[in-house]
Structure 1
Amino acid sequence: MEFIDYYRVLGLHKSATEKDIKSAYRKLARKFHPDLNPNDNEAEKKFKQINEANEVLSDPEKRKKYDEYGKDWQHAEEFEKAKAERHTSRGPNQYTYSTGQKGDFSDFFESMFGGARFGRQQQVKFRGQDFNAELKLNLTDVLKTHKRTLTINGKNIRITIPAGIDNGQTIKIKNYGGEGLNGGPKGDLFITFSLVNNTSFKREGANLYKTIEIPLTKAILGGEILIDTLYGKVKLNVKPETQNGAQIKLKGKGFPKYKQEKLFGDLFITYKIKIPTKLTKEQQNLFKKLEETNLN
């Protein structure tokens, strides 16, 4: 019969606090719970070890005795005899694992703590497993808030998708995860959005960006052009002598702001001047005349 390092079983150091012990126990007990690992003998064995470690380390008296005599477990009862005479003996209690079984203690535990006699009632409630799902949408699908029905693990779930949601953003749907164990609460559903940009615009947050070509003559002389936005066509007045790379802002023509009803980002248009090619002789002569005027 060997000494069992209960701290190691829970992945803790001897300096662990009550909170550390509780957190480690819940995490590991849920991971190896028989209900989540059916017909897995190793998981069941690990689950019993975790429960036993928690039984000792979460009880101040047991932990104190373990820390003091653990390595000398063979003589622990002798060391405790004198103390026991000074204390009122306890009546028998029954310890119940969350599997509902009794008496699943190691020989080490039986020897040091007298088995279930020193146990206490315990029925741990475990929160259900969280579910994760990915939802692929086009960018134009999230221009407006709308509802959509998803099928998760065979169940239909009606969710509201807010306008302006971002690519990679995750939302939580509370209590739509797995069922809890031992009467514990349900887990949550986490939906991550994968947006495909099916537009000619570049999106950064709520702002949109686009580069459009304009003829050289339009850049020099100015005039009107017609461009597309996500909300229809818009006329722009190009100023005379517009430079290549000049940028203008169309306020409120960008993307909806997430969860900010009726608020939108801006659309930024960058002008790229198109240099004419395949000029006729007449056109070339006109440019030569301009050059002769020392036009810079």
Structure 2
Amino acid sequence: MPEGHVVTFEMEADESPDLIPGDLLLSVRTKPHPTFSRRSNNVDLDMKLVVSLKEALLGFKRRVKHLDGTEFSVSATGVTQYGTVIKVRGKGMPRYGAPMQHGDLYVEVLFDMPNMLSEEQKKDLREHL
């Protein structure tokens, strides 16, 4: 359900003698998640994936645990630029009113650069790059 959607439970509010029960209204509020965030269309998700510099240069394959507990793979071959976004079709939220249809997941790939290199690492890089 989209953020702010109101669910109405007709005649489910408090009862009083000689009065018809009113409607109970619930407004959907989304709790922030440490891994996933919703896009404004409420069905597509974003997440950040941090890989090593080696993985960014040579490729990677990672298993990701989804909100529903299932796991899926996110992978890239070869060099991946910082901030590259990988679209994973069908791994977003279910569409309201059509729960068999899902939005997409957009994975932003990030990596940490080392703060410093040893002389040996510098030598190896000079020889191999």
What's the TM-score bracket when you normalise by the shorter of the two chains? 0.7 to 0.9
Q: What is the CA–CA distance in structure 2 between the aligned matches of 1:236 and 1:260, rounded to whole Å?
A: 26
Contact 1:225 1:238 in 2 (8 A): no
The answer to which structure has the higher strand fraction is: 2
Alignment of 1:97-112 (within 5 A): none
- From 83, 105, 110, the equivalent of 1:272 is 110
Q: Residue deviations 1:213-232, cap 9 Å, x none?
A: 11222222223233332233
For residue 268 of structure 1, report the CA deviation from its aligned partner: 0.9
**Corresponding residue for residue 166 of structure 1:** 2
Partner secondary structure for residue 196 of structure 1:
coil
Decide whether aligned partners of structure 1 residues 226 and 180 sit closer, same or farther in structure 2, where only a CA change above 3 A counts: closer
Q: What is the CA–CA distance in structure 2 between the aligned matches of 1:236 and 1:195, rounded to whole Å?
A: 25
**Corresponding residue for residue 233 of structure 1:** 71
For residue 196 of structure 1, report the CA deviation from its aligned partner: 1.7
Larger radius of gyration: 1
Q: Does 1:211 find its partner at 2:18?
A: no
Q: Tell me the TM-score normalized by structure 1.
A: 0.38
Decide whether aligned partners of structure 1 residues 221 and 175 sit closer, same or farther in structure 2, where only a CA change above 3 A counts: same
The answer to which structure has the higher helix fraction is: 1
Contact 2:35 2:48 in 1 (8 A): no
Contact 1:207 1:266 in 2 (8 A): yes
**Corresponding residue for residue 87 of structure 2:** 249
Decide whether aligned partners of structure 1 residues 225 and 185 sit closer, same or farther in structure 2, where only a CA change above 3 A counts: closer
What amino acid maps onto 1:235 in structure 2?
S
- From 78, 100, 123, the equivalent of 1:285 is 123
Q: Residue deviations 1:198-255, cap 9 Å, x none?
A: 4411112011111111122222222323333223332332121211111111111111
For residue 186 of structure 1, report the CA deviation from its aligned partner: 4.1
Partner secondary structure for residue 194 of structure 1:
coil
User: Which structure 1 segments of 5+ residues have no match?
Assistant: 1-164
For residue 187 of structure 1, report the CA deviation from its aligned partner: 2.6
Decide whether aligned partners of structure 1 residues 223 and 179 sit closer, same or farther in structure 2, where only a CA change above 3 A counts: closer
Contact 2:87 2:105 in 1 (8 A): yes
Contact 1:206 1:266 in 2 (8 A): yes
Q: What is the CA–CA distance in structure 2 between the aligned matches of 1:275 and 1:269, rounded to whole Å?
A: 19
- State the structure with bigger RCO (CA 8 A, min sep 6), 1 or 2: 2
The share of aligned pairs that are identical, in percent, is 24
**Corresponding residue for residue 197 of structure 1:** 32
What CA RMSD, in Å, does the superposition of the two structures yield over aligned residues? 2.6
Contact 1:180 1:187 in 2 (8 A): no
Alignment of 1:1-296 (within 5 A): 165-177=1-13, 186-204=21-39, 205-230=42-67, 231-289=69-127
Task: Show structure 1 runs of 4+ deviating over 3 A.
Answer: 177-181, 183-186
For residue 277 of structure 1, report the CA deviation from its aligned partner: 3.4
For residue 179 of structure 1, report the CA deviation from its aligned partner: 5.7
